[in-house]
Amino acid sequence: MKLKIAVLAGDGIGPEISAQGVAVMSAVCDKFGHEVSYEQALCGAAAIDATGDPFPEETLRICRHADAVLFSAVGDPKYDNDPTAPVRPEQGLLAMRKQLGLFANIRPVETFDCLVHKSPLREELVKGADFICIRELTGGMYFGEKLEGNERAYDTNAYTRKEVARILKVAYEYARRRRKHLTVVDKANVLASSRLWRRVAQEMAPLYPDVTTDYMYVDNAAMRMIQEPRFFDVMVTENTFGDILTDEGSCITGSMGLLPSASTGESTPVFEPIHGSWPQARGLNIANPLAQILSVAMLFEHFGLQEEGALVRRAVNASLDAHVRTPEIQVEGGEKYGTREVGEWIVSWIRKN
Ligand code: IPM
Ligand code: MN
């Protein structure tokens, strides 16, 4: 297979983890005889510094012409505490989502048995937790009508039936391939937009008789996720709720540095870690590259390259078992490996196995 990949490394630790994702991708493609090519493009603060625009035209063009985007992270503290900044790095990510029509964000929350003790939750609660959060990504408050005044400001949480139905369809299809349990998360006791979600979901549920659908208010879902994470199989929710719940989900597993995601929709799909740019760690070679590397596994699987994806996953598991780990997940007394060293170990494991 020929694969043309747009590489958007972004800011902070982005370039360091990106390099490891690319190296792993190349090693797997080598092994299976796929022809892969990369084109780097600017995004986020790096793009603002170079062009004034967090998602320049040229980057959009490169993404549109690629088969997939391997994205890392954006964000820079120099913008965080300045509410008057005219452009922010995050707008680059939002522009990418909107312009590529990436309405479905797939965020798996998987636990690794050897790391459950790192979870802030009790081991017996976390062990075996395995669910997917499907987050709507191009609607809701992120993109609704806004007013940013000095005395009054608002963001509108608007959804159309079409937007709700298409993300629910994605969620049902995932549920069908998994344990056939879908939880629709909303705030239908308060929000009109949520009541539309629930109405559409209730209309669609009979079309998927093999799937059990349940409905849960978001506040309750936030609680259930930490009380009984194994309850969930597939959950689907709107943009803002999904943003919040997936950060919560990521810490269940013990490290934010482990969870990849895929965003799909109308144009080129994007694969990225769910964590941010961790600017304090930039250049220190301490960031965990596994979420980025697992994003590469999701990329392969998206194109039906299951064996390639499985090889990446086995390599990641092998590195964890061999205690080749970055500092935040290393066992007591274990040697602390850098971003680069973990990536290199995984690449050489892939070559040998
Ligand atoms: C995420 C991030 C983004 C979001 C930010 C960086 C705009 O938190 O991908 O979850 O809020 O969607
Ligand atoms: Mn987020």
Ligand 2 mean position to 275 CA, how many Å? 7
**Quick check: CB of 243 below 6 Å from ligand 1?**
yes
Amino acid, res. 301: E
- Nearest CA to 264 out of 122, 101, 117 is that of 101
Q: Exposed (0-12), middle (13-18) or buried (19+): which is 207, by Cβ within 10 Å? A: exposed
pLDDT attached to residue 255: 78
pLDDT given for residue 147 in this prediction: 97
- Cβ burial of 52 (10 Å; 0-12, 13-18, 19+) is exposed
Pocket lining: 272 vs ligand 1, CB cutoff 6 Å: no
Find the 248 Cα to ligand 2 centroid distance in Å: 10
Pick the catalytic residue from 187, 208, 233, 337: 187
Residue for token digits 């979420």?
Answer: 291
For each successive 10 residues of the chain (353 residues), what is the average pLDDT?
A: 97 98 98 98 96 97 98 93 88 95 96 89 94 98 96 98 98 98 98 98 98 98 97 98 94 86 97 94 97 98 98 97 94 93 98 96
Q: Is the CB of 90 under 6 A from ligand 1?
A: yes
Instruction: Report which residue type is found at 119.
Output: S
Nearest residue (CA) to ligand 1, atom 8: 243
pLDDT given for residue 172 in this prediction: 98
Q: What are phi and psi of 206, to 5 degrees?
A: -65, -20
Determine the atom of ligand 1 nearest the C-alpha atom of 272: 9
Ligand 2 centroid to 302 CA: how many Å?
A: 22
Residue among 261, 325, 249 nearest 291 (CA): 261
Does 155 participate in catalysis according to the annotation? no
Which bound ligand lies closest to the C-alpha atom of 240? 1
Contacts of 243 (CB under 8 A, 6+ apart): 135
* Ligand 1 atom at minimum distance from 94 CA: 7
30 part of the active site: no
Active site residue 210: no
Clarify whether 49 is annotated catalytic: no
Decide if 172 is catalytic: no
pLDDT of residue 251: 87
pLDDT at 210 (0 to 100): 98
What angle, rounded to 10 degrees, do the helices at 339-352 and 306-321 form? 120
Using alpha carbons, select from 53, 95, 60, 92 the residue that is nearest to residue 74.
Answer: 92
SS3 label, residue 38 = strand
Any atom of ligand 1 within 6 Å of the Cβ of 76? no
What values do phi and psi take at 36, rounded to 5? -115, 140
pLDDT of residue 118: 87
